[in-house]
Structure 1
């Protein structure tokens, strides 16, 4: 009975964690395909980061499958399979930090672009590096300890791995939400796009933070089981999927904001003095005000001037020689460009 319980609490959570890892890998494949097909003009280093993460995640998935094959197939029924960590399990914490640290550094760079401050990004980078050190030490100690019964000896290195990572995730989420909230311009379409970015930041950032907290809690509360691996083995895929979700959401947010600003899908274009740009202004001798909805966003509202001419057809302007009078009116307009706002709030040039 004791041996059966040991197997259930050791390899059951690990197997489920690998299942979740593989499911998230399938989602990641779709995210990667969409990104490389859609954002071909992103900065080279961002595309290289995405490619690096794809390679690392593929390696992580292969290693996890091989890791579970050892105790459940090649060593099935032996005492060694029950007593020892799988040999490849040592790679898990190392690969996770090699994935999470670059992603956290990317968000630190993004925060720097938005806030123009170095203090918070530096703190995030330091936390990411501390987490990396903890993950590498944990992997090495797993290889040295070998036995499941010695799992509590991993506590301090695991805490050095998880706690800085969790704090970095929470700091990233809080800083981005606070910074984006301050970037609202008063234009409906811009504020709608920023609200979408805030919701996405909270949803994606909190996922990794909650999983890291769950990993720490299970690790400390249940040291002689492997229940924390339910969170741990899918953690790297959560990090990468959250990053790719942020990168891929740009086109969706931009398109929905354009639709809202042009009145598509229940949104509404705004017109100066409530005038429809497709119809001439009443009572102004046929002068047409063309105040189009914003096509691009930026954080700083740009003041532009637009001269719109219209041929007057009123009889009071029509001379006996047959020539009409052209009336030109200069209209002051406040634009709210979509592209620049999205670029500034995401920190990524289109």
Structure 2
């Protein structure tokens, strides 16, 4: 009996912790999504649908992940098969997580393309994102075909390609946006403050997702525990989704700093609006200095 309890803790404990963290991050995502729709009146309709898709996909992800715990510990507890065969929904996580991360990464690649006009940067982001998606799909198919816990190591190649490609994509995104921000410092203190915040938030979100993916890789390859990596794996998609929503929602405060309510400006544009501008140094930004007031800088949606 004691050995059985120890085996249950070893096999399903990390999955339980990962599902618990998944639930916490889902709550954060739900709050961020509500805040987004309260302040997204100027966003393009397709961006609103993108956020809705991410929320629906994350809801499905949470249901599938909790089902992985429910089936062996509630439906089949006491049966020796729980130590031999993976739960029914176990195979879905790589594909769902890769689909969400790829969606977020392509959106970030799109806005980088709008900012920098550099096709090769967007191409690099899209390539690594789709490699990650393909590897996630391959891993899901292999797990569905080989349902034994003892066979998890068979999927090591697909698993590693999936997570390493995703981490590489995050690094490209973070470096590209940081380069753009540093290159486009302005004479205006308020504008530079916003640029610094963009860079900091980009580095934070990109670093978190990349570190989580790399930690997942290390625990999978180094640990003898078959399921330890799921502490990270079941939280990964929520980190991507929350990074997307945190960036979109941060624009509200950035706009307040650039265009405070008690300051009358001749421009009603904001970070919510997408336009292309001209400037003597960089054609991607324009500064309105006709009345010697701080400029409003407009970017594609962040």
- Fold conserved between structures, TM > 0.5: yes
Distance 1:40 1:93 in 2: 34
Single out whichever of 138-147 and 216-225 deviates more from structure 2: 216-225
Matched, 1:301 2:287: yes
Query: What is residue 28 of structure 1 aligned with on the other side?
Result: 29
Does the 8 Å CA contact 1:130/1:161 hold for their aligned counterparts? yes
Does the 8 Å CA contact 1:294/1:336 hold for their aligned counterparts? no
Query: What is residue 131 of structure 1 aligned with on the other side?
Result: 132
- Give the deviation of 1:93 after TM superposition: 0.7
- Give the deviation of 1:232 after TM superposition: 0.2
Offset from partner CA, 1:204-260 (integer Å, 9 cap, x none): 111111100100111111254211100000111110010000000001122134459
Offset from partner CA, 1:143-177 (integer Å, 9 cap, x none): 12211111111100101211110000011011111
Give the 5 Å matches for 1:241-280: 241-259=242-260
State the TM-score, normalized to the length of structure 2: 0.89
Distance 2:189 2:136 in 1: 45
Q: Which has the larger radius of gyration?
A: 1
CA distance 1:173–1:141, change in 2 (3 Å): same
Matched, 1:145 2:153: no
Distance 2:56 2:268 in 1: 37
Structure 1 residue runs of 5 or longer lacking an equivalent are: 263-290, 305-332
Does the 8 Å CA contact 2:95/2:137 hold for their aligned counterparts? yes
Does the 8 Å CA contact 2:132/2:166 hold for their aligned counterparts? yes
Query: What is residue 166 of structure 1 aligned with on the other side?
Result: 167
Structure 2 residue runs of 5 or longer lacking an equivalent are: 271-276, 278-284
Tell me which of the two structures has the higher relative contact order, counting C-alpha pairs closer than 8 angstroms and 6 or more residues apart: 2
Does the 8 Å CA contact 1:31/1:241 hold for their aligned counterparts? yes
Distance 1:58 1:67 in 2: 15
Query: What is residue 99 of structure 2 aligned with on the other side?
Result: 98
Query: What is residue 61 of structure 1 aligned with on the other side?
Result: 62
- Give the deviation of 1:293 after TM superposition: 11
Larger fraction in strand: 1
Offset from partner CA, 1:285-321 (integer Å, 9 cap, x none): xxxxxx98998788333452xxxxxxxxxxxxxxxxx
Distance 1:175 1:203 in 2: 14
State the TM-score, normalized to the length of structure 1: 0.77
Query: What is residue 337 of structure 1 aligned with on the other side?
Result: 295
Matched, 1:213 2:214: yes
Q: Provide the aligned C-alpha RMSD in A.
A: 2.3
Kindly tell me the number of residue pairs found equivalent between the two proteins. Answer: 288
